[in-house]
């Protein structure tokens, strides 16, 4: 039987889809990218109302284009919109638990032809163990080390969709990393819903895990997905100082550069605390790339508050800011707050902050003009080789170089979102 997986959303979903893909192939299913599948799996996202709408649209599209397929829908939007989706002609409907049982669920449906709907609503969940042996379509491999979130930011629905924080046993993370490295991966990304909370439900933490992973022979880079400043303590910074396998890039979520707005968002730090952490990191890694997320137009954000954000972003000197106009998320505190900001104002603020981000990105790239950096080549396009440095600068190199190999490259010029590099022979 042929299967097709459609994935929306975050790196965690990407990892979970890869896990389902491996399990199906191991059970003699054949993957297809075309609309001739016998099984279609939609792994949905619910981070915004728009993500819910996109998930629903893709469900309807794939039902129409694959009318005889067994339709499987899972993920955050399935969890969030279960009542609505239960009324659609979906054969297997689950939330974020049970994805590792995908083969059994499909086989049971083939035998019984009975619709299966199952959701676990409790926040007190155990970590669902999953393992991926190889990411066949990319050089960079992910390991999901953590699930769930206890932060309850005012704008976010995900803690209700993913449950409490819970961590993968360290020994199993190490085992999976070794398998991925033995299968050719040289860079691993540690990911989770709240990656920095890893181990808080056990007797160790993220730094303990990093200190073990750096010992793996053949593993050249360890990259972290998004993390919060309050998880970056002195112990972590000491690890960062002493282990160059940990990539020279951290994506540290900010969300606002105004203390007033941070408090309304229910974020767990002040602007001063955030900057103090950044300065500590730069003391041990002066050229590190610090990227972030910022929401503009959050309820009650005044022009004065937004100007604070602009000043703060310039002060921190991020290498890139991912800008999101505030979007009401049904079921969150922020969606019913007083002082909702007009869409036109949100759009104008987002445009202004993106312009600032573009300037900061160019300024950061300029530091490396004429310098030699190591690039892991990830793809070949039209006679060019594309890859990333440790500090996550995208580099284009003339010529077709081997994928998944490191090359020393001299940075010669800057384009808008990447740099041009010249191979050092």
pLDDT in tens, 273-283: 999 999 999 99
Cβ(292)–Cβ(334) under 8 Å?
Answer: no
CA distance 44 to 7: 6
pLDDT at 425 (0 to 100): 84
pLDDT at 258 (0 to 100): 98
pTM of the model: 0.94
pLDDT at 287 (0 to 100): 96
pLDDT at 120 (0 to 100): 85
Query: What's the pLDDT tens digit per position in 235-253?
Result: 999 999 999 999 999 999 9
Query: What's the pLDDT tens digit per position in 344-376?
Result: 999 999 999 999 999 999 999 999 999 999 999
Query: What's the pLDDT tens digit per position in 80-102?
Result: 999 999 988 899 999 999 999 99
CA distance 306 to 301: 7
Cβ(197)–Cβ(231) under 8 Å?
Answer: yes
The stretches of 217-342 forming alpha helices (DSSP H) are 234-242, 259-265, 271-284, 303-316
The CA-atom distances, in angstroms, between 202 and each of 51, 170, 311 are: 33, 10, 40
pLDDT at 321 (0 to 100): 98
Using CB atoms within 10 A of its CB, is residue 237 exposed (0-12), middle (13-18) or buried (19+)? middle
pLDDT at 56 (0 to 100): 95
pLDDT at 137 over 90: no
Q: What is the three-state SS of 144-188?
A: ECEECCCCCCCCCCHHHHHCCCEECCHHHHHHHHHHHHHCCCCEE
Query: What's the pLDDT tens digit per position in 174-226?
Result: 999 999 999 999 999 999 999 999 999 999 999 999 999 999 999 999 999 99
Element (H or E) spanning 87, and its range?
A: none
The band of 123, judged by pLDDT with boundaries at 50, 70 and 90, is: confident
The band of 416, judged by pLDDT with boundaries at 50, 70 and 90, is: confident
Cβ neighbours, 10 Å, residue 371:
10
- Look over the chain and give the mean of its residue pLDDT values, rounded to a whole number: 96
Cβ(48)–Cβ(80) under 8 Å?
Answer: no
Lowest-pLDDT range of 135-139, 380-384, 418-422 = 135-139
Contacts of 321 (CB under 8 A, 6+ apart): 291, 292, 293, 294, 313, 353, 354, 356, 357, 360
pLDDT at 122 over 80: no
């Amino acid at each position: 039987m042929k299967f097709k997986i459609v994935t929306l959303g975050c790196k965690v979903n990407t990892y979970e889809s890869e896990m389902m893909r491996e399990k199906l192939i191991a059970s003699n299913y054949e993957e297809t990218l075309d609309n001739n599948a016998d099984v279609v799996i939609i792994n949905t996202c619910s981070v915004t109302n728009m993500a819910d709408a996109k998930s629903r649209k893709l469900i309807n599209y794939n039902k129409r284009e694959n009318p005889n397929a067994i339709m499987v829908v899972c993920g955050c939007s399935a969890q969030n919109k279960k009542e609505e989706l239960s009324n659609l002609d979906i054969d297997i409907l689950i939330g974020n638990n049970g994805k590792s049982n995908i083969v059994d669920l499909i086989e049971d449906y083939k035998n019984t032809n009975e619709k299966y709907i199952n959701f676990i609503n409790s926040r007190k969940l155990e970590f669902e163990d999953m393992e991926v042996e190889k990411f066949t379509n990319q050089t960079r491999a992910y390991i999901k080390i953590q699930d769930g979130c206890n932060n309850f930011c005012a704008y976010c629905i995900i803690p209700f969709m993913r449950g409490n924080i819970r961590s993968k046993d360290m020994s199993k993370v190490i085992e999976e990393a070794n398998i991925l490295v033995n299968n050719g991966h040289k860079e691993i990304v540690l990911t989770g819903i709240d990656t920095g909370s890893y181990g808080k439900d056990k007797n160790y933490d993220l730094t303990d895990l990093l200190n073990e992973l750096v010992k793996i022979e053949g593993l050249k880079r360890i990259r972290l997905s998004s993390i919060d400043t309050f998880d970056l303590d002195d112990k972590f910074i000491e690890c960062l100082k002493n282990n160059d396998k940990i990539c020279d890039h951290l994506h540290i979520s900010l969300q606002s550069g105004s203390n007033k707005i941070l408090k309304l968002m229910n974020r767990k730090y002040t602007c001063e605390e955030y900057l103090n952490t950044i300065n500590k990191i730069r003391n041990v890694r002066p050229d590190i790339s610090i990227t972030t997320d910022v929401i503009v137009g959050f309820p009650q954000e005044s022009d004065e508050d937004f100007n604070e954000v602009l000043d703060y972003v310039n002060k921190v000197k991020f290498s890139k800011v991912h800008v999101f106009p505030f979007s009401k998320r049904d079921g969150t505190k922020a969606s019913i707050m007083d002082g909702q900001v007009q869409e036109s104002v949100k759009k104008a603020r987002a445009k202004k902050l993106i312009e600032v981000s573009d300037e900061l990105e160019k300024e950061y790239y300029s530091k490396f003009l004429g310098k030699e950096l190591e690039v892991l080549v990830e793809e070949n396009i039209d006679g060019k080789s594309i890859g990333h440095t440790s500090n996550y600068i995208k580099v284009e190199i003339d010529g077709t170089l081997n994928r998944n190999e490191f090359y020393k490259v001299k940075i010669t010029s800057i384009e808008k979102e990447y740099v041009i590099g010249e191979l050092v022979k």
